[in-house]
A and B are shown apart, each in its own frame.
Chain A
Amino acid sequence: MLGFVLRRALSAIPSLFGLLVVTFLLIRIVPADPAAALAGDNATPQQIAAIRHQYGFDRPVGEQLIIYIGQVFRFNFGESQYSHRPVGLDIRQRLPATLELTFGSLLFATLVGIPLGVVAGVYHNRWPDFVVRLFSITGVAIAAFWFAIMLQLLFSMQLDWLPLRGRTGTGIILPSEVTGSLLLDSLIAGRLDVFADALRHLVLPVATLSLGALASIARFTRAGVLETMQKDFVLYERAVGYPRWRLIWIYVLRNSIIAAVSQIGLLFGALIAGAVVVESIFDWPGIGNYTVQAILTADYKVMLAVTLLIGVIYTIVNILTDLTHGLLDPRLWEQL
């Protein structure tokens, strides 16, 4: 297994390198002059030229690329042009919020989506199946920003049950950071008030972000269950009177879930990408929001670092997905 992980990690390096080069060239090859944006209102042409020189924007793009790659290999992602803070520090500060949101959404989507898919598969072409199918089509079709605003209108404005935005309420003194996850850190610090507040703030963003994933997982699980239910071993076990719940929730599910697990792996990447919209609407202080700001301010080092980060996360998740396949079906180890 270790050999597999090492092989996959090494094979990902050229892809990530390619990602870095292509992103750098795409960002820097457009006819834009970041020095002008950086100089700000009222800047003179002389000031813009000085900034261009100071940041090396006047050097050939190839030379800028080589310098940047050299920095990245030393884990130096440069400074944000605007905040003057190391991009690595900004990302470290924001990544936990995005991971909390993404993992929360994935967990919710999995815990709800798989049982829904199983129920739909077991009750094929009966009303539970119709309801789940309607839900999953709707879930995939609904635009996240629209759903988010509907949730805000209902739960924050009409019912006043849940907070509208942000990760915490005003006046909250945060516990010291251990994991970066506010839920975990508040539990570690024994701050249940903060835990409850953080949980309340997490509900609507998670509901929005997980909707499409939940629908997708339910569909894949349903398809897997339908296929497995036709297998001979199911017929045999039913014939010998094996307990129905155990048959479905252990044996049928285990044999049906491979495709859903692949989908969960792919969905993780989609959720990270989808977090851009959700974080903007809910003012969630994560990587997505940070990326939007970077795009709006043409802060290209931030854009590069975030792209690379998402590439790395995607690679790790793919490796984990393959490992999970192997655990669920040991025969697959031979193919890995």
Chain B
Amino acid sequence: MQISRRQFGALAAAALAFRGQSAAAAEAGVFVAGQDLPANLDPAQVLDVQATQYALNAYDNLYRYEGNPAKMQPWLATDHTVSADGLTWEFKLREGVKFHDGSELTAEDVVYSFQRLLAIGRAPAGPLQPILKPDSVSAPARYTVRFTLAQPFGPFFAMIPMVAIVNPRAIKPNEENGDWGAKWLASNEAGSGAYRLLPAGYVPLERADLEKYDDHFMGWSDNPHPIKRIEWRPAKVTSTRVLALLNGTLDMTDSFLPVDQVERIDKSSNAHVAKNVTMRLLVIRMNNTKSPFDNLNARKAFAHSFNYSGFIDEIVKGNAVRDPVPIPNTIWGFPKDVSGYEFDLKKAKGYFDKAMGEGAPMKRPIQMHVQQPLEQTVQAGQLFQSDLATVGIDLKLVNDTFANLTSISSKAETTPDMWIHWVSAYYLDPDNWIGQMYDSKYHGTWKASCWYSNPKVDELLRKARFTTDQEDRGPLYEQAARLVVADSPDIWIYNMVEVCGVSNRVQGFRHCPVGSGGEMRWMHLSA
């Protein structure tokens, strides 16, 4: 390589231009997203908030949750019918919907998408597997999809938005050893969504570039100046994420901002905090198989020792609403008459003494695992530690990661004494929370990591799951919730108010509990 004298001069000039050029120039039409990317891009393999956000932009679904409170909207489907016995569901599709490769989306593609999801058998398929077999999805007509369920299943319709429709013509040529294209789709995209992935701009967990899909079936008349390109550039450290938002090089953060950063953003002139009540519960788990948590009085002593209002009012500064049961207070099935456990150290001491009298080892050191880098879990742990000390309980905090915690909670003996996590909204049905947290059939999953077992609760939750009428299901969940709360297997703290940092140039931000407002087709950028 040779550098000419002219090039050298230009180089020197460019280097000297450090001071003259703003380091924080936001580009018109380019939205820089600071949220984390999903572990991989295949919507059949990964299910978490990040994967949902990505899929909302790159893929379409038969129905989709929109708004807050969330409502089911017809999306690729125009409508649906369900048989009287609740077993046969038919969805009519829009005609003329185009995948990103230009091919038309038909019922056969929907069948392939569901069959692929079930065959890959990862988390997104979990709730559907008991009632849906590959041959129970069919395409009786070009634009009609039929599901024949093994038995009536209450949450079925609520789960429909979890399934992204993929393009078999893009995937099949890339299949390896019957993997349904899992390896290929982990780093590529085969959707019809409002934005399409630019494969050259994707580096796992580091960056992803998406461009507007002009031929998206909804058209763009509702948004004359949409975002042209999304540059996903996750910021790993909270301080950097917030500084980038404040200096205009990032347009949106995640929704787990610490309170001090919320205040900092609120004071700035470049950005604001979008606050939205959602359906994300914060729960402290107790391993009910380990002493002293196998003792009801011991569990109640812990439940009365958490300073709920202090945590919500002082530490998260009101960005949460007390929720005393394992069902969000914004969904049907929530038992309004249950007040749960209140912070009362006198009562806690009473239960502590009772548990001691029953031989529970209340003085043994208890380990509570908190999540790094989620600061709020640490703050909750520290607050709890200090109040438990006054009762006489020695709580030790252990730093851990979510991946490791989900991993070690697959067996009762390796599940920690206590740990803390959120339960997010994936399908808006009480089954997403109480159903998967307290039905003993889910033992071995992190959602059921308190290892609670009550045959009566199992019966109620299963009955609710296999009943189709919401009028009948609601009371079953309410009854199950009352029983669970009476058994006090966990400590339910709050339903979150999501706090998401958003640049002031972003207009049209729409929040939905599913996806945390990460659907970008509604947004535009002001100059």
Residues of chain A touching chain B, judged by Cβ–Cβ distance below 8 Å, are 31-37, 39-48, 50-51, 79-80, 82-85, 90, 93-94, 149, 152-153, 155-157, 160-166, 169-171, 187-188, 190, 192-193, 195-196, 199-200, 280-283, 285, 289-290, 292-293, 295-298
Contact = CB atoms under 8 A, between A and B. Distances in A.
Contacts of A41: 47-48, 123, 424, 426, 446-447
Contacts, number: 204
Closest 7 A/B residue pairs (Cβ): A40-B123, A196-B14, A45-B444, A82-B39, A36-B410, A298-B403, A83-B204
Provide the main secondary structure of the chain A interface.
helix
A33 B243 contact: no
Contacts of B424: 41
B470 interface: no
A157 B247 contact: yes
B126 A42 contact: yes
Given A37-B403, A196-B15, A90 B204 contact: yes
Contacts of B17: 196
B27 A171 contact: yes
Contacts of A33: 407-408, 410-411, 414
15 contacts: A31-B411, A32-B414, A33-B408, A40-B124, A41-B446, A43-B445, A45-B442, A160-B247, A161-B23, A164-B247, A170-B30, A195-B11, A280-B237, A281-B236, A283-B233
B410 A152 contact: no
B243 A152 contact: yes
Interface stretch (B182-190, B286-294, B309-317, B331-339): B182-190
B124 A164 contact: no
Given A33-B410, A47-B123, A84-B186, A297 B247 contact: no
Contacts of A282: 240
Given A42-B426, A195-B14, A283-B234, A85 B24 contact: no
B403 A43 contact: no
Given A41-B48, A42-B124, A157-B243, A36 B39 contact: no
Provide the main secondary structure of the chain B interface.
loop
B203 interface: yes
B442 A44 contact: yes
Interface of B: 1, 3, 7, 10-11, 14-15, 17-19, 22-27, 30, 32, 39-40, 45-48, 121-127, 129, 182-183, 186-187, 203-207, 231, 233-237, 239-240, 243-244, 246-247, 249, 401-404, 406-411, 413-414, 424, 426, 432, 436, 441-447
Contacts of B45: 40
Given A192-B7, A195-B11, A296 B403 contact: yes
Nearest to B239: A149
A32 B39 contact: no
A160 B24 contact: yes
Contacts of B186: 82-85
A285 B205 CA distance: 9
A162 B18 CA distance: 7
B129 A156 contact: no
A54 to B, nearest CB: 9
Contacts of B182: 84
Nearest to B182: A84
Nearest to B23: A163
A208 to B, nearest CB: 12
Contacts of B124: 40, 42
A141 B247 CA distance: 30
A166 B249 CA distance: 11
A42 B401 contact: no
B422 to A, nearest CB: 11
Contacts of A155: 23
Contacts of A47: 121-123, 125-126, 129
